[in-house]
Structure 1
Amino acid sequence: MVLKVSDAELKQQLSEEEEKKKNQNESIQRTQKGFQILSERDGSEDPDTTPVLEIADQRGNPLKIPHKEKKALILAMGFHEKGRSLMKKKQFDNALCHLLQADQQFSKCGSALLSSVDNFAVLQLDIVWCYRALEALSCLDDGRSRLQRAEDCFLQCYGEQQQRLLMIKGNTGREEVLFLRLYLLQSLLSYIEGNDAQARHQLAKVESLYSRLCPDSEKMDQLMTLGFSEREARLGLRACQGDLQEAAIHISNQRQEREELKQRERQKRSRRMEVISTLAELGYSRRDAATALHHADGDVDKAYAILLDSAHAAQTTNNNAEGTGGPERLQQLLYLGFDRDASEAALRLTGGDVQSATQLLLDNQGVLSPELLSMSPPSTSSSSPSSEEPSTSSTSTADSELVNEVLEDISRHEEDYLDLTLDEESELIATMKSYLSRGRARTV
């Protein structure tokens, strides 16, 4: 049978595909820009008005990660959160684009970091779950390798028999939903490849987990009557193997721990802002003070020493520039045909940068206006005392809008990725049982 499509219908399809691709690219660009802004923030701003992302362990302790790796990790986690948000809306095609971007950013992180966190493994599961939803059979080989990476990563992060996870969290019930989804996807791929025996073996493991993890509606209602949320009830019951009393105690303890963590975080930020203000009163910019404090691991005396050393180095650089380096730079501009007074002023305004000075003179046809000449030259060092130049309001507003947009996709609950209702999994389990019971009469 041949399906004939009119030229008008074909043009409409192509137009819709083009518009869809354009929207996806715009979404990816906005997500990347928003999280790049967040990754560059150093904590010098007021945390109550300017959001700052900090990478911490499950106890809220900041992880010490090299700056380049930290930026990649923030972008990876940001794209992952955006992708998961789109998955919840059943926009699997758009979600997959963001998840693959997250995968690229994770590849820039060191193997030691990836083997110590489960984020990378969860991402691999989410990517293959999108393949399943989109029926992307062409991605079969890639899906198989991603599931293997996920399984290997879970083994490294959680340990044999999940003993490392048990030591850290005290229970393993909540993470078992990840293994349920892993085994279910492995069962599906085995069936598609024609390996029914392996598909049945994995599906049996899935059904065993499902019987333990599927929430008891009556117990859920009882916990919610006590004032706990649906998520808290579901995660609590799984953590305590369905024991109602233990779950209530567990949820209450978690609430208290979470509140104590927030309190410690508020106190830490308050102390940090006080120290930054103290250093700023000595004549340093808040950004320079925040950077120095970061390198000094919060020690105010060490931070002050760093600022002093940097200021001294900047002064030495200035002296050198005014000595042997200055005339050489000036001669380069004079050789290009610019006036001496204008060249000297351009070098002063650009901090001695010949390329920037040349561009400044070209932009102004070799003549600098009184307004330009009255401007102060930029600081030659990021750590010398200076006054801060505010960014333009339009740029600041646009950045704030971008940041607020990407923050909307970040779950406020640290275990949101474990809070699977198992509704989708239940449907796929039923489908798999149907396929396997009918043998090879039909295919996926």
Structure 2
Amino acid sequence: MTEQNTQAKLKNLLKQEKIQLWNPPYTQEDNQPGDQHIQELAQRYAPFLNLSVAEVGGALESIRTQAVKRGKGNRTFRETSVATLELLLPRDAKKDPKRKNYMETRLDMPVQQLVDRITEEFSLKHVKLILNGRTLSVDKHLDEQGVKNHSKVMVLKVSDAEQINKEEEEKKNQNESIQRTQKGFQILSERDGSEDPDTTPFLEIADQKGNPLKIPHKEKKALILAMGFHEKGRSLMKRKQYDNALCHLLQADQQFSECGSALLSSVDNYAVLQLDIVWCYRALEALSCLEDGRSRLQRAEECFLKCYGEQQQRLLMIKGNTGREEVLFLRLYLLQSLLSYVEGNDCQARVLLSKVENLYGRLCPDSEKMAQLMALGFTEREARLGLRACGGDLQEAAIHISNRRQNRTKTGKMRMMMCYCWSTTLLF
């Protein structure tokens, strides 16, 4: 990550001075570096970056090498229609963590052929290919799905035989897992509540006050599928199975895209999904997917502001507190800070990180108060969320937790009376 930060800063400096490292005198006719001129640049830039001349020289050479390779790839593509793709491989498939991996291919070929080459060359058994946050369909051609020369393609490893032996509960590969999830939630999404409630379960969508919401059938179906995939993805994230989780989260994103913009701007589920996807990028060390990550975080922030209000006043009016939702902003600021740093914008990264630290200080519960609440019979999670919701006030937190327990008990009784009627709450 530090290397990405240094290179981003150097690229900005080079752009300002209109210096092209792939041209003479920085690159000679045989594509070898013009060492003297590179060294002069390193000596000039080192004080700006507070780095040694050797570190800056190494970063400049890396930028130069990439530029030369890109130029060569452009010529090859023009002359032969063979494109060069950058592969973002799983960590355990990289022979050299610092070395970028490329593959040459024609773009008018099915994705399955590229998958077969990748699995063979890098000794992987089952993979999915992701481009700009979308899963590539194996039965379609690369160019049909927006793959271009120099595209960055993320390679996700799905459950292989080795993983199945280690974890007996995961006896099916990822495709089957996704199909199972989709089938289950598709059944739910097609229920309209008109069947006999004593024998047939159905899913009801309600607002924060429990009032059923009228949503067009097509959007309701897509929304239920999206939330199902999202929940499955989140459970996989908790088990740190980020490859598998990301595939489910991207399926959720695809289903959310079937919903109208008015609905998406009214529910925070969609914003939380964007955070989870970028969190997986971070966990998979795929922050080179900057463009997609940046746009997702922007969508998340816009959605939070519409749902909660500029100062979260709408959320306060509905729920009476903002404790749980503030954790979402903490994650948002942390990821934004990380991306700013990778882009070389240290000033913005520091501002965002300061927000993270301040928010974390407010949200981190007092251990003594936690112990007192747990001594009253509350769980650790209840104590933590209660203190956050009540701004650290011990008595208010105890009352808040007790009220939530009573509400859950009432809700449970209502659900028993309704026989299998499942409801999901959205923020409208």
> Normalising to structure 1: TM-score of the pair?
0.56
Q: 1:261 aligns with which of 411, 417, 424?
A: 411
Could you tell me how far 1:261 is from its partner in structure 2?
3.2
Match of 1:52 among 199, 202, 212: 202
Per-residue Cα deviation, 1:127-164 (whole angstroms, up to 9, x for no partner): 00000000113311100000000000000000110000
Could you give the per-residue CA deviations for residues 203-258 of structure 1, whole angstroms, max 9, x where no partner exists? Answer: 00000000111122222222122121222111110000111111001111122223
The change in CA–CA distance for 1:64 and 1:265 in structure 2 (over 3 A counts) is: farther
Q: Percent identity?
A: 80
Q: Which residue of 2 aligns with 1:179?
A: 329
* 2:154 is aligned with 1:15: no
- The answer for the alignment partner of 1:28 in structure 2 is 178
Amino acid at match of 2:236: L
SS at match of 1:160: coil
> Which amino acid letter does the alignment assign opposite residue 42 of structure 1?
D
Distance 1:3 1:166, change over 3 A: closer
Q: Deviations over 1:51-85 (max 9, x none)?
A: 43221122222211111110000000000000000
- Alignment partners' CA distance in 2, 1:19 and 1:152: 32
Shift in alpha-carbon separation, 1:143–1:11, aligned structure 2, 3 A: closer
Q: Is the 8 A contact 1:240 1:246 kept in 2?
A: yes
In the alignment of these two chains, the number of paired residues is 272
SS across alignment from 1:38: helix
The answer to whether structure 1 residue 82 and structure 2 residue 82 are counterparts is no
Inter-CA distance 210–37: structure 2 relative to 1 (3 Å threshold): same
- Consecutive unaligned residues in structure 1, runs of 5 or more: 274-406, 416-444
Contact 2:186–2:221, Cα closer than 8 Å, also in 1:
yes
Q: Quick check: 2:210–2:425 contact (8 Å CA) kept in 1?
A: no
RMSD over aligned CA atoms reads 3.0
Q: 1:219 to 1:49 in 2, by over 3 A?
A: farther
**Hey, what does 1:102 align to over in structure 2?**
252
Residue type of the partner of 1:20?
A: S
The answer to whether the 8 Å contact 2:205/2:425 transfers is no
Q: Which runs of 4+ in 1 moved over 6 A?
A: 412-415
1:225 aligns to 2:343 (yes or no): no
**Long gaps (5+) in structure 2:** 1-93, 97-118, 128-156, 161-171
Task: Describe the SS at the equivalent of 1:54.
Answer: strand
Task: Return the match for 1:120 from 270, 280, 287.
Answer: 270
- Asked whether the 8 Å contact 2:223–2:255 carries over to 1, the reply is yes
Residue 49 of structure 1: how far off its partner (Å): 6.1
Q: Which residue of 1 aligns with 2:261?
A: 111
1:143-292 matches, within 5 Å, as 143-267=293-417, 269=418
Contact 1:60 1:261 in 2 (8 A): no
CA distance in 2 between counterparts of 1:201 and 1:175 reads 21
1:336-369 alpha-carbon deviations (Å, 9 max, x no partner)? xxxxxxxxxxxxxxxxxxxxxxxxxxxxxxxxxx
Counterpart for residue 166 of structure 2: none
- State the SS of the aligned residue for 1:161: coil
In 2 relative to 1, CA 12–191 (structure 1 residues): closer, same or farther, beyond 3 Å? Answer: closer
CA distance in 1, matches of 2:301, 2:369: 32
Is 1:166–1:172's contact at 8 Å kept on the other side of the alignment? yes
Number of the residue aligned with 2:131: none
User: Distance in 1 between the 2:188 and 2:424 partners?
Assistant: 19
TM-score, normalising length: structure 2:
0.58
Alpha-carbon distance in 1 for matches of 2:174, 2:187: 20
Whichever of the two has the greater Rg, that structure is 1
Q: Which residue number corresponds to residue 60 of structure 2?
A: none
Cα drift, residue 118 of structure 1: 0.4
Say which structure is richer in strand.
2
Secondary structure of 1:62's aligned partner? coil
Counterpart CA distance in 2 for 1:265 and 1:248 is 26
Structure 2 CA distance for aligned equivalents of residues 255 and 177 of structure 1? 22
Residues 232 and 93 of structure 1: CA distance in aligned 2, closer, same or farther (over 3 Å): same
